[in-house]
């Protein structure tokens, strides 16, 4: 293969994550995935490192766990992705998590499957109650109007 036939090298965020993992002394994605708290599935991390955000996007929860394990903020991670050409734009696929949201996600991951199911059901119940109360408020006249007999 001649120099003119060389394939273009394109870096993506997965490459950066792999380099950061290796710089922290983890030779394999498996070792790093197990060291995370709670542990991440090895396939999830390995696929992300190979494919980056082009073919496989991480959900916000998994991305937050990965950032916590790397001790980075999202903007710091995206700033490390080299942009080889002017027409290539590295996009941040997820909005930043504030510290309160990050803490909540960490607590969520500390729950077992049964506890997570219970929390989901509780949230669904609360949302249904709110929807019911909002609909009820729109239909019912205000107490002051009913007492005074005034109409809108």
Q: How high is the pLDDT of residue 118? A: 86
Q: How high is the pLDDT of residue 4? A: 53
Distance of CA 136 to the CA centre of its chain: 35
Q: How high is the pLDDT of residue 88? A: 47
Half-sphere exposure for 39 (CA within 13 Å, toward CB): 10
Q: How high is the pLDDT of residue 100? A: 81
How many Å apart are CA 140 and CA 61, to the nearest integer? 40
Q: What is the dihedral of CA 63, 69, 73, 78, to 10 degrees?
A: -60
Each residue of 33-50: b (16+ CB within 10 Å) or e? beebeeebeeebbbbbbe
Q: How high is the pLDDT of residue 22? A: 92
Q: How high is the pLDDT of residue 85? A: 47
Per-residue pLDDT of the chain (152 residues; tens, 9 = 90+): 455 555 555 667 788 889 999 999 999 988 998 888 888 888 888 888 887 754 456 677 778 888 888 888 888 887 887 765 444 454 555 556 678 877 887 787 777 778 888 888 888 888 888 888 888 777 666 565 555 555 55
């Amino acid at each position: 293969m001649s120099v003119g036939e060389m394939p273009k090298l394109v870096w993506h965020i997965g490459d950066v994550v792999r380099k950061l993992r290796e710089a922290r002394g983890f030779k394999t994605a498996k070792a790093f995935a197990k060291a995370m708290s709670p542990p991440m599935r090895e396939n999830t991390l390995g696929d992300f490192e190979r494919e980056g955000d082009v073919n496989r996007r991480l959900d916000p929860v998994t991305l937050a766990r990965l950032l916590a394990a790397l001790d980075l903020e999202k903007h710091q991670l995206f700033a490390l992705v080299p942009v080889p050409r002017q027409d290539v734009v590295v996009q941040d696929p997820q909005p930043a998590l504030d510290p309160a949201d990050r803490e909540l996600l960490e607590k969520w991951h500390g729950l077992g499957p049964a506890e997570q199911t219970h929390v989901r059901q509780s949230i669904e119940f609360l949302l249904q109650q709110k929807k019911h109360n909002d609909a009820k408020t729109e239909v019912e006249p205000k107490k002051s109007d009913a007492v005074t007999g005034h109409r809108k």
